[in-house]
A = this chain, B = another copy of it.
Amino acid sequence: LARDPIEQARDNWRAKGWPEAAPGMAVLTSVVRVNQIYVARVEAILRPFGLTFARYEALMLLLFSRAGRLPLGKMGERLQVHPASVTNAIDRLERDGLVQREPHPTDGRGILALLTPAGRKLAEAASARLNAEVFDDVGLADAELSQLFSLLKEVRRRDGDFS
Contact = CB atoms under 8 A, between A and B. Distances in A.
A5 interface: yes
**Chain A binding surface, main DSSP class:** helix
B140 A27 contact: yes
B18 A127 contact: yes
Number of copies: 2
Q: How large is the interface on A (under 10, 10 to 19, 20 to 34, 35 or more residues)?
A: 35 or more
Given A5-B78, A131-B21, A151 B140 contact: yes
Nearest to A142: B23
B139 A37 contact: no
Interface stretch (A28-36, A100-108, A111-119): A28-36
Given A28-B135, A30-B156, 6 more contacts: A1-B161, A1-B162, A27-B149, A28-B38, A30-B152, A32-B38
14 contacts: A1-B160, A4-B161, A4-B163, A5-B162, A6-B153, A6-B156, A9-B60, A12-B64, A21-B131, A22-B135, A24-B138, A30-B153, A31-B152, A34-B155
Interface of A: 1-6, 9, 12, 16, 18, 20-28, 30-39, 42, 53, 60, 64, 78, 80, 127, 130-132, 134-140, 142, 144-149, 151-163
